[in-house]
Amino acid sequence: MTAPRDALDRKLLALLQMNARAPTSDLARRLGIARSTVHERIARLEREGVITGYTARLARAPNREMARALVMLAVEQQQARETVKRLETFPEIRTCLTVSGEFDLFLVVEAERLDRLDEVLDDIAVTPGVRRSRSSIVLATKFDRAPVTEPAPQDTPAL
């Protein structure tokens, strides 16, 4: 995969991440360029592997607003693999990343209610191998450009 070539590519990608179904004419208008230029750039970004596919992001039902926390964990280095395996058993943990610095792991945790989120955070903190945790409750999402995981080649539908 190659990186976007210029600021116009980056702006186009940001618009596509917000709405991959946006009409080419709308993208062109917002970028101040010709529709044919948008079409050519999208085709090139697909060819070069910058854009690997398109997907639908489903909205949650209005009554299913999730409580979310960002959690930093310091873990015992000798138990890091086992600790991550234990954390994998928590369905509320949506993302687990290794990070450098004062903490070792960064988690995104979601639960149906704040009281349930509190219970999960308590359970994470006492997980064997966890030395220390620091949590922040998410108040609002301003935007989300989370990448979509590519399907494995055998899972890719034929066109």
Ordered by start, the domain boundaries in the chain are 7-47, 67-137
* Tens digits of residue pLDDT in 18-77: 889 999 999 999 999 999 999 999 999 999 999 998 877 655 555 567 899 999 999 999
pLDDT band per the 50, 70, 90 thresholds, residue 159: very low
Dist CA 68 CA 112 (whole Å): 9
* Tens digits of residue pLDDT in 94-139: 999 999 999 999 999 999 899 999 999 999 999 999 999 999 999 9
Tell me the sheet residues that pair with 31. Answer: none
Dist CA 149 CA 55 (whole Å): 10
Per-residue pLDDT, 63: 56
Q: Are 139 and 75 in contact (CB under 8 A)?
A: no
Collapsed DSSP state (helix, strand, coil) of residue 51 = coil
Per-residue pLDDT, 14: 85
Per-residue pLDDT, 1: 60
Per-residue pLDDT, 150: 45
Q: Which CATH number does 7-47 carry?
A: 1.10.10.10
Q: Where are the beta strands (DSSP E) in the chain?
A: 67-75, 93-98, 105-111, 130-137
State the fold for domain 67-137.
Alpha-Beta Plaits (3.30.70)
Dist CA 39 CA 52 (whole Å): 16
Q: Of 137, 130, 136, whose CA–CA distance to 104 is shortest?
A: 130
Q: For 23-27, 82-86, 149-153, which range has the lowest pLDDT when averaged over its residues?
A: 149-153
Per-residue pLDDT, 143: 84
Predicted TM-score (pTM) of the model is 0.59
Per-residue pLDDT, 17: 84
